[in-house]
Every structure is written in C-alpha cells, then in structure tokens.
Structure 1
Amino acid sequence: MNKDDAIAQWVSIVTNADKSHQDEPTDLWGTQGVRRIDHPCRTRWWSDSTYANTPVSCRIWAGASQTSGASVYKLGPLSRLLWRVSRGNFWRTGTTVRRNMPAATDSVVWAVFLVLALSVVLKVDGASYRERPKSADVLKGDTVTLHCTIDGLPPSEMVQWYGPPDMRHISSGNVIAKRFKGRYRILGDTSRGEHNLQILRAANSDEGEYRCSTLSLDETADATLTVVVPLSGPPDIIGDTAPRKAGQGLMLTCTSVGGRPPPRLTWYNGTRPYKLPDDAFKEGINKGEVMLNLVIPYLTKWDNGANLSCKADQGFPSLVKPRTAVKVLNVRYPPTVTVTPKSSRVMEGESLNVTCHVDSNPPADVDWRKVGHALPFRVDNRGQVLHLDRVSSSDAGIYQCIAENGIPPDGYGTFTLEVLFTPRIRQTFDTKVSVLYGQDGFSLECVAEGNPRPQVRWRRQNTELYMGNPLVLSPVNYDVEGKYACVASSPGFASVDKETFIDVVGKGM
C-alpha cells in the first residue's frame, strides 16, 4: 500500500471522509516535540525520496469539517493539531515543514492524535438557530441551563459547546469533554436539534462566555453566564457615631466585603439617595472590599433622627436581595420655642391654658415668667403649659416661656393676655363738692377704667343733658347747684355711674 492509500485508509476510518492532500500547514511554532497549529489542518505529500513509504497523518482535536470535493479540512475557531516527532529535526521555511537532512536510517513517524472529540460534517445549506442561548444568572451552587436549538442539521453533524476559560471545547453532540464531565451535560432531543447545556452546582469558574455553534453555520451564538455569590451580611457603617452638634460635619464610610459580583453601594437619607462625587467610591485593600464615603459638611437640626442607610446591591434581585445597614443620626441643637396661642382676649373671671412648644435635643427645661412682674398667685406653671385661673384685669400683660437644654442660646417665646372687664369709676371725687359762688370757673374730672376703654360723661340729675369730662361750670352761681352723675360706658357692658352734689356757697340772698 502506498503512502497516499495508507493515509486515505486512516482518514476513512477516523473521519469517514476522503483523504486530504496537496496542502500544507500555515503556522507552526515550537522547535521539537509536540507542536500545536491554530489553523485549518492540511497535509502535503512531498516527492522527496526521504519520505518515501513514510506514513504521514493529520488528526484533528475538535471542530473540523471537510468540504465535499475539495478534500480540504476546515477547523472551527478552537480546533487544535498535535504533531509528534519521534526523531529528526524540523524547522519552518515559509509555510512548509521540512526535515533537516535526515539520515537514511532515520525513522520519522508523524502522528497526530485526536485529543478532543472529532467533529467532521458536510457543509449544508438551510441550517439555522431556532433558539439561541441567552445570557443567564445563577446562584453559586445552583443549576442553570443554557438553551440552544438548531434546525436543519443533518444527522451526521454535531453541535459544539465552548466556554470558559478561553472558549475551551465543552462538548460535541452529546459527548462531554473529560475536564467538564460530572457537572456538565447535554439535555434535550438532539434529533430535533436541541442541545441544551446544563451546569450543575455552578462554581465561580463557570462564569464567562459560552458559545453554541456548528460548522455548517457561519454565525455563532454566544451567551454570558454570571455566577452570583451572595453577600455574607449587610455592609458596615464606620465613622464617628457619637452625637453631633448642629453646625458640625460628619463623615461615614460604608464598607462591604465579599460577594460576586461586588455590590454597588448607595447612601440614602430616608428614601432619598445622596448624589455623591465619583471619588467617594473606593476599593479596599482586601480582595472583594468596596467602600463608599458619605460627607455631610454641615449638620442641621433637621438631620436629627434621620435614617442614614447604606444599601449594597449586587444587581440581581431575582437571586439575591440588597443588604442594608442603617444609622440613626443624633444631632444636638438648642431650643426653639413656639407659644400657642400667641395672644388671647378673655373676659374677666374666665380661665385659660397657654402652651409652650419646645423643639430641642436633648429635651429642655421650661419655665414661665411675666414680663416686669412676678407670676400671679393664681397661675399654675405646669412646665410647658401655663394655666391661668379666673383671670382679673391685673393679669393682663406679656408672659414669657424660657427653654434651656445646656446648648446655647436658650429659647424664648411670648404670650400676650388681654382681659376684658366692665367699666369702673375710680374714687377721685366725694359725694358732695362745695364750690364758691361767683367763681369764674370750676371743673371736676371723673376717672374710669375698663376694657374696652370706657367713654366718660357727666349728666345732671333729672335731665338727659350730657356734658363732657371733666365737668366745667362757669360762671358759678346758684343755678348750677345740684346733683351730677359721672357715667362710664363700654361696648358689651352695662354703663356705670357715680353721683356727687355740687354745693354753691358764698354770696347770701
């Protein structure tokens, strides 16, 4: 059997295809021993007598097809060749592999071994993807399936799966490569073109790009698998957590360690996210540690009690929930006081309550005082509530609430009390007033008080004649002698009066 026939026989056994000939390798690297060639496998028969009767063979690792008629093997993107040289030196000149001056007795045997599954199919028209693999997410330790269905495949053609690392060959048809056996398997009805890749107990090393392809298709279908490792716990909030005074600043750091992929950290004030500069995010010195700084340059009273939360979100809500850490701010600030009501108008004899509302942290001590006076004895000072019982006209005035919590300044608030009462005529004249006859003029003033301020007039007895106040009599004679009444009137109250007798004395009859 000649060399050509021998190779044809071997190719027929291995690939059930025609022999290959009249071509040569296009890339060879390494000098001796095992060589790998990342290109289509082509074998050239030389006429050199040195190679007479030398069996030469080319065996393909994976992903090869032979085009009908041309007898040329076409390899997939990850196909590999192994060249084994038992003796002799070889080198590369151009695109030809030649032997360097072999001795006549040298025995050179070239053997290329099938390392992975061999897939040799005839290229056909009409094959197409019915279902392409879709990118998927899986929790570490769980099972995930990447679906791939190709229509129009002849029975002899095999579907290939490739994956991480570096698009390693995973399977040909239903046959799983050795390194992937155990956790990988092909599911589905292969007669219908279904070649679904299932991965059991997903590990970190399973993450990456996967490809489902066949050599009868010029296109490939890729998908990304993400293996999610959940966080071991919520993030930590680190910083000065002691109570702060209003006006001071605050810096906190949210730290999360572990998890795959690393979480995205976000600071919130209640439900409102903070907008932070890019340099607020940092990677820690430990592997898998991420940090996000929050700087509040000026705290206010409104920050007291705020829920500052840091959320760590890995971005896969269907697999893992975000983890959150919360810190409640304690901001100390001086009292602010609001008094209700601010003022009040009451009838004499009524009672009322006045409340001093204090906003402070810590809580303040509250006291009441009347501006310019001591508190009336009928006042019950009950801390924030001032109780005035059966008020009188003397209770009218301005009251002040003072709140103090040790953080200056103290807080102040005021309340104004107005008391309505009936007119009262003061004792400024006697019941009988003597006036000298012939006096050019005489006046008598009536003083009255009340709220509203009363109108004061004089009226002579048994007449409806009203005179102003003070009462003026001029000239003084016996005609003006008689009883006069001082009348004080206020809206909403009955009028009050006080009488006096004007006695004219002097010139006899």
Structure 2
Amino acid sequence: MLPFLHIKLVGQDGWGVTYSSTEICALKGSTVNMSCTYRYPPTVQRVENRFWFRTVVKENYTDLKTDPEYSGRVQYNCVNNICILRITDLRESDSAEYKFRFITDQEGGKHSGLSGVTLSVTESPSAEIVEGSSVTLTCSSDANPAANYTWYKKNGDADLYPLSKEPQLVFSSIQSSDSGEYYCTAENKLWGKMSKYIYINVTYAPRLPSVSVSPSAEIVEGSSVTLTCSSDANPAAKYTWYKKNGDPDLQPLSKEPQLVFSSIQSSDSGEYYCTAENELGRRTSKYIYVNVTYAPKLPSVSVSPSAEIVEGSSVTLTCSSDANPAAKYTWYKEEQKLLQSPEGSYYLTSISSEDGGNYSCKAQNQHGQTSSSVDSDL
C-alpha cells in the first residue's frame, strides 16, 4: 500500500482539524483506522464532546457510535488532541465521507474539518478472477500536489514499459496471459513512491486437451503402452479416459492423466479420448487411434467343396489367420512350396490322384509365423 503524505487543513483563530489521510481504499470485511488532530485556542477551558460522523447527501452530526448501521463496529481512541476512528467488518455501504467534530465550552466552539476522509470499500482482490471478466486495478495515494500514476507488470525486464498512466489499470476482458504481479508508482514534484506488488491470478476453463501415446513407434502386442492427456487449465484440470465403443453409458477407464497398458493386447486396439474438467468447464479431446500389431494366430484351413472330391473336379484350399499387419500365406505339399500370396487360397482346377497328400499353410508377418495342415484324400 502506498504511504500517505500528511495534509493540514488549519482553520482561522487557532481552530482546525488535521486529517492524516483524506482518501482511503479498504477491502470489504477488513478493518480501517482514520486519524485526525484537532486544535482550539488556549482560551478554551474544556472539550465537552468529540465524535466522528458521516456525511451522505448533506452534512449531519450524528455520532457514528449511535448510528444503528455501525452498531458494534465503531471504536474511538482519543488522546492528546488526536482521535482515531476504527471501523471493523467493513461493508460496501460504508463507502462515504467521514468527518470529525468537537464541541467546547466556549461560545461558538463547535468545529469540524473543512473536508473529511473519503473511504472506498471494495471487494477483496483475492476473489476469483475468471478469464473474460472485467477487472480494474486502482492506485491511490494521498498527496499534495496530486500524484501522477503509472502502472507496470513485473517481468524482470529492466526497461519496463508502462501499461497505463492513469490511476486505474482496466482489463475489459482479462486473459490468462494477464496473470502476474503488478505495481504502480505515485509521483509529484516533491516525491515519488512505488506500491507493493499485487498478484493477479486469472482462472479459466480447460483448453482443448492434447493426447499422446508412448512409445510413438509401432505398438506390439504384449508391450507397455501409455496414453497421456494434458490440458492448460487454472485451477488444474481433472482427467478421465474413455474408449469409443458406441455405448452411451460409457464407463471411464481411468481418472488419471495417464492410461497405462502394462501388457497391451490386440483387443485393446481402438479409438480413445479423454476429458479435462475443472469448476469452470469441461473439454473433450480428439480421438487417438491405438493400433496393436501382433503375429499371426493359428491359421484355419478349409477345403471346398467339403463333400467327396471327384477326380477331374476343381478344389480350393483356403487358409486364413488373424494378424496385424495382414499375413502373407504360403502353401506347401509334403514340404514342397506351391504358392505364396496374400490371399491365402490355392486352386486345383482338374484334380487327379497325383494331387492327393498332405497340404500345409504358413501365415507370416514381421512379428512371427505359424502353420496349419490339411489332408486331401483322393
């Protein structure tokens, strides 16, 4: 808080009231002290009464101690012509001008300050500041002549550029990038002072979450895989992971930023997404596709037609295997290679007794191979 310069308002003939501050800004719910010194001529024998009062529309002289609005919240401490007013549990309705008045035993000895103390009660700056809202920082200092104000943001740059040369620094739509420490300076031709830092913490809903998979290379069945969800948010977001499966009543897979597969399986292939949520909002990420590769499973082989095979007819041997990437197939007869193709079918157009025997099929990709056999009984 900026220090106040001392201002004297001295009346004629030795009468007068001096206020240590003529403008005070205070926070709602806090306590404020207002101080004054009062003077009177030496001919005065006794001060009969002294009190603080509040001016609203027109000056009145109701002692604050008797004002129901201030019941239990006002204290005076008056010693040696100095009188301090303390108001506790400040309310926004307490914003007003306050004056001190004293009454003596001398005829006409009723005096109050020509001006008073203006009190401004505002909401605490510790209240949550939400991105997009309007925020005003106010710098004030009691000075004569009046002070010139300048606002800065603390950023470690020795050549700081002022943000404003007005008493108020206004953010009409404050952004997360505006978070940080601010301070102001008050200067007149006699002196200059710098305020303490005030920290502005701008809260905001999560940004669009980003998702990543580790390792980023090919995912092989049985390996360890981690999906990570991250979102810029203030306060920090909470995360939930889901797998896209068309079920409207999706059950979360994890409520952590990471979804971990210690030994991923082919059944884990699919599209995944996450949500990031705080009290200000919720965002859903784009889908990330997890493609689990694996060696061919045991091939299934079949003969068509499946009924009795007649010499001279056509016969098709078919081999298929679940694999990722797709398998390549090789047909053998009694260990002799017949055909290699991605389709897995071998055709006998006019079968004869010489075609009888044991046939086998091998399915293979870069992760492994496996075989199955079939007997052709001609």
- After TM superposition, the structure 1 = structure 2 runs for residues 11-410 of structure 1, keeping only pairs within 5 Å, are 241=125, 242-258=127-143, 262-271=146-155, 273-276=161-164, 281=166, 292-303=167-178, 305-313=179-187, 322-341=194-213, 345-372=218-245, 381=254, 383-410=256-283
Distance 1:433 1:501 in 2: 12
Residues 1:250 and 1:331: Cα distance change in structure 2 (over 3 Å): same
Residues 1:237 and 1:346: Cα distance change in structure 2 (over 3 Å): farther
Distance 1:238 1:354 in 2: 47
Q: Under a length normalisation based on structure 1, what TM-score does the superposition of the two structures give?
A: 0.43
Distance 1:422 1:416 in 2: 20
Residues 1:334 and 1:390: Cα distance change in structure 2 (over 3 Å): closer
Distance 2:352 2:189 in 1: 110
Displacement after TM superposition at 1:355 (Å): 2.2
SS of corresponding position for 2:297: strand
Unaligned 5+ segments in structure 2 are 6-119
Q: What are the superposed Cα offsets for residues 310-341 of structure 1, whole Å, 9 maximum, x if unpaired?
A: 2335588xx86633341323333344312233
Structure 2 counterpart of 1:475: 350
Q: Under a length normalisation based on structure 2, what TM-score does the superposition of the two structures give?
A: 0.56
Displacement after TM superposition at 1:368 (Å): 0.8
SS of corresponding position for 1:394: helix
Question: How many residue pairs get matched?
Answer: 247
Distance 2:332 2:217 in 1: 36
SS of corresponding position for 2:368: coil
Displacement after TM superposition at 1:462 (Å): 2.9
Distance 2:347 2:308 in 1: 12
Residues 1:398 and 1:482: Cα distance change in structure 2 (over 3 Å): same
Displacement after TM superposition at 1:254 (Å): 1.6
Distance 1:438 1:400 in 2: 58
Residues 1:364 and 1:275: Cα distance change in structure 2 (over 3 Å): closer
Residue 373 (structure 2) pairs with residue 499 (structure 1): yes
Displacement after TM superposition at 1:460 (Å): 1.8
Displacement after TM superposition at 1:249 (Å): 2.5
Which of 274, 281, 291 does residue 418 from structure 1 map onto? 291
The letter for the 1-side match of 2:369 is S
Select the structure with the greater relative contact order (CA < 8 A; seq sep ≥ 6): 2
Residues 1:321 and 1:256: Cα distance change in structure 2 (over 3 Å): closer
Mapped contact 2:136–2:171 kept (Cα < 8 A) = yes
Residues 1:436 and 1:411: Cα distance change in structure 2 (over 3 Å): closer
SS of corresponding position for 2:319: coil
Mapped contact 1:239–1:253 kept (Cα < 8 A) = no
Displacement after TM superposition at 1:471 (Å): 1.3
Q: What are the superposed Cα offsets for residues 418-460 of structure 1, whole Å, 9 maximum, x if unpaired?
A: 2221112343538x96652135422122111222221123222
Q: What are the superposed Cα offsets for residues 280-310 of structure 1, whole Å, 9 maximum, x if unpaired?
A: 63xxxxxxxxxx121222222333x322322
Distance 2:135 2:285 in 1: 29
SS of corresponding position for 2:267: helix
Displacement after TM superposition at 1:499 (Å): 0.8
Distance 2:270 2:217 in 1: 10
Mapped contact 2:221–2:264 kept (Cα < 8 A) = yes
Q: What are the superposed Cα offsets for residues 247-266 of structure 1, whole Å, 9 maximum, x if unpaired?
A: 222233221222x6654422
The letter for the 1-side match of 2:278 is N
Displacement after TM superposition at 1:410 (Å): 2.2
Distance 2:222 2:321 in 1: 20
Distance 2:253 2:273 in 1: 14
Unaligned 5+ segments in structure 1 are 1-139, 141-235, 282-291, 505-509
